[in-house]
Amino acid sequence: MLSRFLSPALPVPPSWYPGHMTQFTRMLPALLTRTDIVLELRDARLPLTSINRTFEGALARWRTERSRLSEHAALASPQASARVCERVVVFSKRDLVPEWGLEPFRMAMATRFPEQKVLFASWNKPRDLKSLSSLLVNIAKDHPHVPELNVLVVGMPNVGKSTLLNALRNIGIPGPTPKALRTSAQPGLTRALSTRLKLSTDPLVYAFDTPGVMLPFLGRGERGAERGVKLALIAGIKEGLYDIESLAAYLVYRLNVLDADAPAYLSLLPKGAAPTTDIDQFLGLLAQRLGMLKRGGIPDRQRAAAWFIKWWRDEGGSVYASAPPAAAASRRAGWGFDLEWEVGPAPDGSGRESIQKRMEECIDAYMLGVEQEESDGGAVSSTQERKRVREEKAAKRAARTRAKLAAKRGG
């Protein structure tokens, strides 16, 4: 069994924030004025990393404004109904994380974010899609005074927004329904806001598909580097921005953390191979097993690394998800790639600890780290800071110019 192991050296996170993302972020406040339900998609494998802080401020202002409008309406007419303002967070790819963690994590999220409705879904499970469709329809039925409900679907790239909307249309609209949106395994296909898509005819529910939006800056130091590698592994950011062996090294490390006794990659190696923390050894063994050899019998580590990452996305996640929780006496364990905790005797001597409690601690630690990062300026790149300074100087110059012109007219 592996004992302690350190995270490999991680590359500096790349900058990847195409223009269409900037454009959508600027449009978001106006879009929210005609939105009743924000449906945010996150990846269950990265339930915390796929929180997009870009949205948080705009959504907080949206809730405040909706509350103000509801109060004004109630003062004008006691019979007036509150404005619809619902936030639904759907964690996609639920089949790629272990089932034993779904309910504890849902309860942990409900404890920490009671204003959010949380669901887990896999697009290949009709029951999950029907549950989400029913949730949207029931929200509409709870507000019969609203003639139609508008749903804004947001999330990071490649989280499955377009695929979800196509599936919800098939469920909510009787008869054959043509596919409305193109989908792709590569991030960044949807580059503009879609036209309204009808998801239900009775009651009327419409939705907008939006471009995937990355964080403008992934962060400084190890925290930002790890965010970038995690997102690249799930194809949420362009894989070509990274050295493929660096991604493979982090994937081996993370699978070791999840199960040091029998990591999910073990079945790929020659019979009798043991878990390892040595990426060169791992890729050499894998290349030998797959017959990926260069001239002279030298293992082709690049090809092996690319194959390994593709295996993880296509099959490996399911291998990991189907395994029972690791049961070592004292070690680290986790769920997905974001939640990690010490496993050991509980304070009451029972030898068991609440998974939900550990998950709540992980959420608290993550959110505290994000707040600290933002207060220290670590969430803004030097390029963004220079741009902000230039914009402030330009605004001051424009204000001085307007003041001079006003003074001349007044004189």
Claim to verify: residue 154 and residue 268 sit in the same structural domain: no
Using a 10 angstrom Cβ sphere, with 0-12 exposed, 13-18 middle and 19 or more buried, the burial of residue 70 is middle
Claim to verify: residue 77 and residue 185 sit in the same structural domain: yes
For the chain, the distance separating the N- and C-terminal CA atoms, rounded to the nearest angstrom, is 85
Distances (CA, A) of 30 to 51, 197, 357: 21, 18, 38
Distances (CA, A) of 116 to 63, 89, 157, 303, 361: 12, 7, 21, 43, 19
Tell whether the model's pLDDT for residue 38 goes beyond 90. yes
Tell whether the model's pLDDT for residue 311 goes beyond 70. yes
In a domain, 397, yes or no: no
pLDDT at residue number 187: 43
Claim to verify: residue 186 and residue 46 sit in the same structural domain: yes
pLDDT at residue number 133: 93
Tell whether the model's pLDDT for residue 391 goes beyond 90. no
Tell whether the model's pLDDT for residue 329 goes beyond 70. no
pLDDT at residue number 353: 53
- Count other Cβ atoms within 10 Å, centred on residue 404: 10
Q: Helix, strand or coil for residue 255?
A: helix
**Model pTM score:** 0.80
pLDDT at residue number 357: 92
Q: Considering only 52-56, 94-98, 102-106, 190-194, which range has the smallest mean pLDDT?
A: 190-194
Claim to verify: residue 282 and residue 205 sit in the same structural domain: no
**pLDDT above 70 coverage of the chain, percent:** 79
330 — pLDDT class (breaks 50, 70, 90): very low
Those residues whose C-beta lies under 8 Å from the C-beta of residue 259, and which sit 6 or more positions away, are: 320, 323, 326, 333
CA distance linking residue 393 with residue 402, whole number of Å: 14
193 — pLDDT class (breaks 50, 70, 90): low
Claim to verify: residue 198 and residue 249 sit in the same structural domain: no
Specify the higher pLDDT residue, 88 or 384: 88
250 — pLDDT class (breaks 50, 70, 90): very high
Return the top range by mean pLDDT from 206-215, 256-265, 345-354: 256-265
In a domain, 408, yes or no: no
Using a 10 angstrom Cβ sphere, with 0-12 exposed, 13-18 middle and 19 or more buried, the burial of residue 62 is buried
Claim to verify: residue 150 and residue 264 sit in the same structural domain: no
Q: Helix, strand or coil for residue 253?
A: helix
Tell whether the model's pLDDT for residue 283 goes beyond 50. yes
Q: Work out the mean pLDDT of the chain and round it to a whole number.
A: 81
Looking up residue 139, the CATH number of its domain turns out to be 3.40.50.300
In a domain, 71, yes or no: yes
pLDDT at residue number 91: 94
Q: What is the pLDDT of residues 338-347, one digit of tens each?
A: 998 877 554 4
Those residues whose C-beta lies under 8 Å from the C-beta of residue 30, and which sit 6 or more positions away, are: none
Claim to verify: residue 203 and residue 257 sit in the same structural domain: no
In a domain, 237, yes or no: no
Of 287, 314, 290, nearest to 301 by C-alpha is 287
pLDDT at residue number 16: 59
Claim to verify: residue 265 and residue 147 sit in the same structural domain: no
In a domain, 380, yes or no: no
Q: What is the pLDDT of residues 141-175, one digit of tens each?
A: 998 888 899 999 988 877 788 888 888 888 888 76
Q: Which domain, by its residues, includes 25? A: 19-209
CA distance linking residue 140 with residue 148, whole number of Å: 8
In a domain, 381, yes or no: no
Q: Are 175 and 160 in contact (CB under 8 A)?
A: no
Tell whether the model's pLDDT for residue 349 goes beyond 60. no
For the chain, how many structural domains are there in total?
A: 2
Claim to verify: residue 25 and residue 104 sit in the same structural domain: yes
Tell whether the model's pLDDT for residue 365 goes beyond 50. yes
Claim to verify: residue 186 and residue 260 sit in the same structural domain: no
CA distance linking residue 167 with residue 170, whole number of Å: 5
Q: Are 169 and 180 in contact (CB under 8 A)?
A: yes
In a domain, 334, yes or no: yes
- The one-letter code for the residue type at 224 is G
Claim to verify: residue 192 and residue 59 sit in the same structural domain: yes
pLDDT at residue number 237: 74
Claim to verify: residue 188 and residue 270 sit in the same structural domain: no
